[in-house]
Amino acid sequence: MSLEAAMERIDILVVGGGAAGMLAAVAAREAARKRQIPDKDCSIVILERNAAPGAKIRISGGGRCNVTHSGTPGELLAKGFLRREEERFLRHALYAFTGSDLVRMLALQGVQCEGRPDGKVFPAAGLAAPDIVRAFDRLMREARISLEASCTVSSVERVGDAFLVITGERRINASSLILATGGVSYPSTGSRGDGLLFARRFGHNIVKPSPALAPIITLVKPPEELAGVSLRAVSFIGSAAGKQASRRGDVLFTHRGLSGPAVLSLSRDIAELFRSAGSCDLFVDLFPGQRTEELQEELLRDAGKNGSRMVRKFLQSCPIAPPDGLSGEAPNGTIPSGLVPFIMRIAGLSDNLQWSGLTREKRVALLATLKRFPAGSVKTVPLDQGEISAGGISLREVNPKTMESRLVPGLYFAGEILDYAGEIGGFNLQAAFSTGWLAGESVKIVGRGQDQ
Ligand SMILES: Cc1cc2nc3c(=O)[nH]c(=O)nc-3n(C[C@H](O)[C@H](O)[C@H](O)COP(=O)(O)OP(=O)(O)OC[C@H]3O[C@@H](n4cnc5c(N)ncnc54)[C@H](O)[C@@H]3O)c2cc1C
């Protein structure tokens, strides 16, 4: 048999059966059918390393799967993608396939979704992440997509106008290629950066993968008594070499460092600060809604009324001010009683100090601690433990209106392989679905009836 004869031919080949790859394949079929290309004349195949598709969807949202976020595409872009160039890049995709499109698509497959007051959208009660994957299984069957599982692509190269894709002993000639191999976090789910290597060989620049939505491990472990203590509606701050980044939200002390929404959200900036400065100190502003002078007035007011009150009692009953504009999303907390002894110690105040004994110097120390509670120094922000990874295919080299490579015609990218990173709240899955849809919708479809 000649080499040519041994080569399989596929019209549209998708590498990676995650959220982006599955939607890309489904969208490509829809586009082909719209153009009256019979299914038999346009083969669409997904090659997936794992034994089943959607490994990350299954573990998303702790198994509940926060599929998207309520709101218009503009609202999702503003809330979910804080870096301007990433937001701009994703604009076309999020309008091409919106959160409502996703919810409608899932509902047609019998999976109803419902939004929570904080905007996160989950499958309705009684349903969970596996139901989302099953819905995509059905969609792929309806679209006559062939999903080949336990099939790892080892190399991809350009041959003439097509692509030569190698998996095991098989050599596949693909007219169009969509790389949807994901990021590099949670490598046990199959996403190990293979697509980035393939793209590099095509001449693409890769922005080095870095952690995002990841916990932070501190040089010194938090004291045992603090592990598990959660601070509500505070401002989490990273500071290194004169630069500072902060995020409002909840912070959780863990056995190894810090986690919780504000920490996960800021972890990408913290990792960057840490990388450039070699160290990064972490702080918590317990009263982000009040300037130091306002807080001082509150302390003085209480001290004036209750001179014999113990400072620690005041702290225990003192609500943490809700962040501006976030009331409803982040309910008022109080300073957890577990934190109070640490505040007293760091401010240099004795346990039984009363308001009447608080000198000006001590008051300044207390205010400084409340506005900048030291929460440790970064040891590492683990790339593999992030819900996502930042970095990936440089956005400048991808057409945002089609997801096609600007360097290699017929090559498309979708999902987390691209250099964007969304916030927590369903934004990352929505971006994977939307970029997948746009890539599939835009892919060049020749169809065998047409080109022969
Ligand atoms: C613990 C956790 C919780 C999360 N929770 C949420 C959430 O609730 N909401 C949300 O919006 N986002 C969440 N995310 C993020 C979200 O799951 C991802 O951003 C999204 O799934 C990425 O989709 P993708 O298709 O781009 O990549 P992936 O889902 O990573 O899919 C890539 C696929 O490509 C396959 N592959 C890789 N290389 C090859 C190869 N060489 N050959 C064949 N196949 C290959 C992989 O096996 C994998 O199946 C979470 C992530 C994690 C890890």
Last residue in a domain, options 340, 372, 404: 372
Domains identified in the chain, total number: 3
* Pocket lined around ligand 1, Cβ cut-off 6 Å: 15-21, 47-50, 55-57, 59-61, 65-66, 152-153, 180-182, 185-186, 190-191, 194, 387-388, 415-416, 426-429, 432
Residues spanned by the domain of 77: 3-210+387-451
Same domain, 300 and 265: no
Note the pLDDT tens digit of each residue in 316-330: 887 765 444 444 343
Query: How far is CA 260 from each of CA 32, 164, 241, 333, rounded to the nearest angstrom?
Result: 44, 44, 25, 15
How many angstroms separate the alpha carbon of residue 53 from the centre of ligand 1? Answer: 10
Same domain, 45 and 160: yes
CATH number at residue 57: 3.50.50.60
Q: What is the pLDDT of residue 316?
A: 86
Note the pLDDT tens digit of each residue in 342-387: 999 999 999 999 999 999 999 999 999 999 999 999 999 999 999 9
Same domain, 64 and 185: yes
Same domain, 260 and 333: no
Same domain, 120 and 177: yes
How many angstroms separate the alpha carbon of residue 315 from the centre of ligand 1? Answer: 43
Last residue in a domain, options 383, 408, 428: 383
Same domain, 247 and 348: no
Note the pLDDT tens digit of each residue in 273-330: 999 999 999 999 999 989 999 999 989 998 999 999 999 999 988 776 544 444 434 3
Tokens of 106: 């899932």
- Ramachandran area for residue 108 (φ above 0: left; ψ -120 to 50: alpha; else beta): alpha
Q: What is the pLDDT of residue 329?
A: 40
Please name the residues in contact with 416: beta carbons below 8 A apart, sequence gap of 6 or more. Answer: 18, 20, 182, 183, 191, 388, 389, 392, 428, 431, 432
Burial 254-277 (b: 16+ CB within 10 A, else e): bebbbbbbbbbbbbbbbbbbbeee
Same domain, 333 and 347: yes
Same domain, 187 and 239: no
Same domain, 228 and 119: no
Same domain, 13 and 138: yes
Contact criterion met (CB below 8 Å) for 389 and 212: yes
CATH number at residue 221: 2.40.30
Dist CA 20 CA 440 (whole Å): 9
Same domain, 201 and 69: yes
Flag residues of the chain having pLDDT under 70: 1-5, 320-333, 447-452
Closest residue CA from atom 30 of ligand 1: 182
Same domain, 205 and 260: no
- Residue 389 pairs in a beta bridge with 211
Last residue in a domain, options 372, 396, 416: 372
Looking at ligand 1, which atom is closest to the CA of residue 61? 8
Q: What is the pLDDT of residue 1?
A: 47
Dist CA 420 CA 388 (whole Å): 10
